[in-house]
Structure 1
């Protein structure tokens, strides 16, 4: 009997030599950090409670690479968890905590690339290789209704993982598309750069989270 595909890479995954070498350097520098592929973060009720999956780009060097939880511990997490808390998709957010102490509600969070990349920039081969984990992650949640993709790379990775053509489901802030029974909602990434430059404002991001919360909460 064939084993089901792994939904999370092993802590010592070497699928992408550049990324595993980068993590090895972090393990030497900060041995007490997570320093490995970051698994999908589930709500306390488990995967059967998940109706929304949020997909980011990759772990932050001093954020998820340190904590082992997507978006936790960096500036992008501060914007994300504040919005999720406001709209009933998380609880326990404290301003400035960047996700420390948060519990998700009906929501799971993952990344298109599970390992921290040098300069926060994965290359195409790494994005493609990590689709081996994104595909089963998208399939694991029996009650999944919507996917929120943060940034074009995450969006395109999800479309391809679901067997779609990117040209038929283009990225756009606030755009929605349907694929394989799921609603895919895209947003600019809530990175510090995007927020500081005004490419993405708190109001813009909040509107997208409000929309997707309404979808999965039946409002």
Structure 2
């Protein structure tokens, strides 16, 4: 499947001028980094095996923007992947690099905004523009039944991509909504800031994954 067929942005996607300028700046500073839209990452077992899609905010500057794999290279990935391993959504060993032995199981990961934004804060226009690359993920996986949105921006963009109303499908940690045959779960983002400030604890994060695991096992 080509990038275009999969609804993926090109490496030099020109749609958001501010993000393009930031990308070019870092290509000059760190030419060995990925410094491009970060592609959706899915299990190697085939699209029909994906039942859970995790939607993040955007690549971290020294995380996915550097490595080219979602949530790889920064603290958020440490918590996300250790929890996915615990609940059977991944296998192998996470070593924070794209050539480690970590593999997804029945899951896929994508960001609402594919390019790294300055200060990790995409603008509303950038979020809206990049939704054209988020929407195909919900039809690509024929057996998709659960989506986990990490943070309010990912949640709102997912709701809109699924054709729901943000005013009705409100975000909260542990939230759960049914939209167009998809069950949308919500969690605070697993960022270092949120964990350092106590907004999100490991137990809180695990509890959401436990709910998803129970839901998927019951729907099997």
TM-score, length-scaled by structure 1: 0.94
After superposition, the Cα gap between the structure-2 partners of 1:6 and 1:103, relative to the gap in structure 1 and judged at 3 Å, is closer
1:56-76 Cα deviation digits (max 9, x unpaired): 000000110111111011100
TM-fit CA distance, 1:213: 1.9
TM-fit CA distance, 1:217: 3.3
1:179-200 Cα deviation digits (max 9, x unpaired): 0100000000000000011000
- Say if 2:6 and 2:140, in contact at 8 Å, map to a contact too: no
Match of 1:211 in 2: 211
Match of 2:200 in 1: 200
Aligned pairs for 1:23-102 (under 5 A) are 23-94=23-94, 97-98=95-96, 100-102=100-102
Question: Aligned with 1:45: secondary structure?
Answer: coil
TM-fit CA distance, 1:150: 0.1
TM-fit CA distance, 1:17: 0.5
TM-fit CA distance, 1:218: 3.5
Q: Distance in 2 between matches of 1:70 and 1:217?
A: 25
RMSD, aligned CA: 1.4
Point out where structure 1 has 5 or more consecutive residues left out of the alignment: none
Match of 2:139 in 1: 139
Match of 2:119 in 1: 119
Match of 1:189 in 2: 189
Match of 1:153 in 2: 153
Question: Aligned with 2:205: secondary structure?
Answer: helix
After superposition, the Cα gap between the structure-2 partners of 1:5 and 1:43, relative to the gap in structure 1 and judged at 3 Å, is closer
- The number of equivalent residue pairs is 214
Question: Aligned with 2:167: secondary structure?
Answer: helix
TM-fit CA distance, 1:33: 1.1
Q: Which runs of 4+ in 1 moved over 4 A?
A: none
- Say if 1:172 and 1:186, in contact at 8 Å, map to a contact too: yes
1:41-100 Cα deviation digits (max 9, x unpaired): 011112121100000000000110111111011100000001000010011234xx3464
